[in-house]
A and B are shown apart, each in its own frame.
Chain A
Amino acid sequence: MIQFERFVLSNGLKVLVHEDKSTPMAVVNVLYDVGARDEDPNRTGFAHLFEHLMFGGSVNIPSYDEPLQVAGGENNAFTTNDLTNYYCQLPAENIETAFWLESDRMLSLAFGKKSLDTQRKVVCEEFKEHYINKPYGDVWHKMRELAYTTHPYRWMTIGKELSHIETATLEDVKAFFFKHYTPSNAILVVAGNITVDKVKELAQKWFGPIAAGEKYVRDLPQEPKQTAPRTLEVKANVPLDALYKCWHIYSRTDSRYYTADLIGEILGGGASSRLFQVLVKEKKLFSNIDCYHMGSTDTGLLTIEGKLVKGVNIKDAEAALNEEIKKLQQLGVTDKELEKVKNKTESMMAFEDMTVMNRAASIAMYELLGDADLINKELEMYQAVTAEEIAKECHVIFDENNCNTLYYLAN
């Protein structure tokens, strides 16, 4: 059971406090409810570029990193298609430093030209390092465009193309900031060796005076139901053929999400999962195969991806994969299998909650989904999934009209 307290400042900032006296440290986690899905289709990669700019100095403090490091702190951040999360950890005695730094950059950035010029270049190098200069690096770029026709999940967090980042202007940056980086669009979680009273006092002192700003109301075009299979064939300079298949699943808050998650585990979670055992070990068609999804807030994709053993025809490999899916649809899941994936989920959750930093981030993300207390309720949701529900969802999800297939072939 993870305990926390919650209060809201008058400007709309939600604050959650999780006390843990066993550590000398404190974690300050600020989540902004903005991700790549909130971007203009002609200005993609912005949420992530913005994350970089958040370290380029704020209105009253020229450097974010230096004072934090002086206080013995460490920090980082990440951006997804759904959200942007900033976190820092420092000795609990110095926690006010984190309030000072985080509140100033919520108040306003410095918007320096030099910072923008540099970070544009840095992000372009990041783009090259991870998505251009790597074999199979552009798979998700292509797969997202195939699987999503309408929803902004069509593009990756890093952006559709380098030019969107290269041409970003200071005006764009300012507009983005004042639209999304407001108190009412943020969740502050403070965890570790602190007290609720102290956090209340510091939150009021540092974040209280920030103007509420205009609440951003998200109204994204939703993805229409897919009605026919989609396929794409790509040839690239890679040594091995690879197969990717994606099916639309449910939003993170839909009760069927848990069923879909467990289906993924049954098929491809670990070396005793069905796909690994049959397709890698027994039939030797793939050298590796995985089944996963990204836990997206809006409807996500259940994905199966694998690299083929050299010499295997991709049609044969795909047929064998489809056969395994059909088997699951027709015969369902065994009690032992279902028990296994539930046990695994329980264990994974226990390990995830080992560090204060993880707990702080989880609390923020569950609060974003609607209620931080989900952190304590999710295990029950998984435990409640039945074999019948799995059988039913296997038919819904693995409908061929819901399927997107990418052949990524060696030149």
Chain B
Amino acid sequence: MLNRTIAPPIKDAIEFDLQLKPYTFFELDNGVPVYTIDAGTQEVFQMEMVFYAGNFFEQQKLVAGATNFLLKNGTSTKTAFEINEAFEYYGAHCARACYNETAVISLSSLNKCIDKLLPVIKEMITDAVFLEEELATYKQNSKQRLSVNLKKSEFVAARLIDAYVYGESHPYGTYTNPEDIDALNTAQLKDFFKQYYLNGQCVIFVSGKLPANLKEQLNNNFGALSLSKLKSAIPNPVMTPATEKKYRIQNDAEGVQGAIRIARHFPNRHHPDFMKVMVLNTLLGGYFGSRLMSNIREDKGYTYGIHSYVQNHLQPTAWMISTEAGKDVIEATIEEVYKEMKLLREELVDEEELLLVRNYLIGTILGDLDGPFQIMGRWKNLILNNLGEKYFYDSVQTIKTIPAEEIRELAKKYLNPEDFYELIVT
């Protein structure tokens, strides 16, 4: 008779030997670095061209984002429609995204179409024209989208907490007002394009079941452009954090929930505490079984979800707790968050819970390395952060071995309520 109360034996995930498949590296003729991962079974690839053209480099709000967006909206020989069709006809997807330090153009496609698509990307990054009419539509639609988002308490909370932590003048803390959208003009975009794309600094990541002539294809299209690799360190702008730490903002009187954000400053990945705190963060609010979820969702039912995380920035960053909770339980939710911090400061995590977190984290990494895109995702994060594979293996080692005492010490150092900004938007 089967005894269902006894768990089958397991191999502890921490006994697994995690391997990050190494990348292949080469440079284009102009020195642009290319990292590739050749894996997978489907005949598809994904390319990301990462330009150092994020909002760190703009002189006026939104210029980096608008330039990035409008790369795809017209060249001297193609309209926006024709560019879009050039990709979509082959079932390919060309996306662009603007972040703080970087701005990305990415291409996902079947391998058989690569030779048709790279020339279109080349045209976008060398010959984008930034028509007045395209910018006008972009401005109008951005303002409309902003007006909808401003109705959402979680959107308002996300921008305000960043502004408090970093200061509104810092690229991580800045946010958009309608008048910033109005102020955009094509001359600014053309200047930004010239400096940060046409003559930009760039790095390329390609993953998938790669075509044999990939290097040649990339060189033919991008190797003779006046692009280069990153030449100097990325600037580290001065933060101007708010002096007041507690905020209660009313955004929507009729709302039935409020958005809570609780955040403190935190160093970047180069600080020795960073990878250790990843374990502490997981315990606190980094997975479904975390202290915050178990207490505030699974025990009290105050929220659909509560999470803690360190913001994914290259420079010094913030450690954040984020949730939406019913209006009647919102202050109680915050109280419970601080109670959980106190417990972590005062009591050693028991070995059972710690082993669970170690196994969970290792299992997650193992599962996350499913396929070439995910493997490249790991590498891209390491490379853009100026870290090597040692960081990956050290992180794994930290997860496997960090003692409970050290976790408590980190909690004492970092989880003090007086260091946290606290915001409720209702």
Contact = CB atoms under 8 A, between A and B. Distances in A.
Q: Tell whether A pairs with B.
A: yes
Interface of A: 22-25, 59-61, 65-67, 69-74, 89-91, 93-94, 96-97, 99-100, 103-104, 107, 117-126, 128-129, 132-136, 205-206, 209, 237-240, 269-272, 277, 280-281, 284, 287-288, 307, 309-310, 336, 339-340, 343-348, 350-351, 353-357
Contacts of B303: 122, 125
A67 B359 CA distance: 10
A91 B144 contact: no
Q: Choose among B88, B109, B140, B153 the residue with the greatest number of A CB atoms under 10 Å from its CB.
A: B88
8 contacts: A91-B13, A91-B366, A100-B8, A103-B4, A120-B301, A122-B304, A132-B257, A287-B145
B97 to A, nearest CB: 15
A307 B357 CA distance: 45
B112 to A, nearest CB: 10
Given A65-B288, A118-B300, A344 B91 contact: yes
Interface string B2-34: 101101111111001000000000000000000
Contacts of A206: 2
Contact of B4 (A72, A100, A288, A339): A100
Interface of B: 2, 4-5, 7-13, 16, 39-44, 72, 80-81, 84-85, 87-93, 108-110, 137, 140-141, 144-145, 147-148, 150-153, 252, 254-257, 287-289, 297-304, 324-326, 355-357, 359-360, 362-364, 366-367, 370-371, 373-374
Contacts of B366: 24-25, 72, 91
Contacts of A277: 81
Contact of A240 (B91, B147, B255, B367): B147
A366 B370 CA distance: 23
Given A120-B301, A128-B257, A134-B152, A25 B367 contact: yes
Contacts of B145: 287-288
Given A237-B254, A354-B42, A60 B5 contact: yes
A119 B301 contact: yes
Contacts of A209: 2
B140 A91 contact: no
Q: Choose among B137, B152, B153, B301 the residue with the greatest number of A CB atoms under 10 Å from its CB.
A: B301
A133 B256 contact: yes
Given A69-B287, A91-B11, A119-B301, 6 more contacts: A70-B360, A118-B298, A122-B304, A288-B145, A343-B91, A347-B108
Contact of A347 (B5, B110, B288, B373): B110
Contact of B356 (A61, A69, A237): A69
B196 to A, nearest CB: 23
- In order of increasing CB-CB distance, the 10 nearest A-B pairs are A72-B363, A121-B301, A72-B13, A347-B91, A343-B91, A272-B84, A96-B8, A239-B147, A272-B85, A60-B4
A93 B16 CA distance: 10
Nearest to A58: B4
B7 A133 contact: no
Nearest to B293: A65
A240 B148 contact: yes
Nearest to B365: A72
Contact of B44 (A307, A336, A354): A354
B11 A135 contact: no
Contacts of A71: 10, 13, 359, 363
Contacts of A22: 39, 41
Contact of A270 (B7, B84, B255, B371): B84
A307 B141 CA distance: 10
Nearest to B146: A239
A270 B256 contact: no
Given A125-B257, A344-B91, A354-B40, A118 B301 contact: yes
B91 A346 contact: yes
A339 B2 contact: no
Given A74-B363, A240-B147, A346-B91, A271 B84 contact: yes
Given A97-B8, A125-B303, A72 B359 contact: yes
B85 A307 contact: no
B301 A70 contact: no
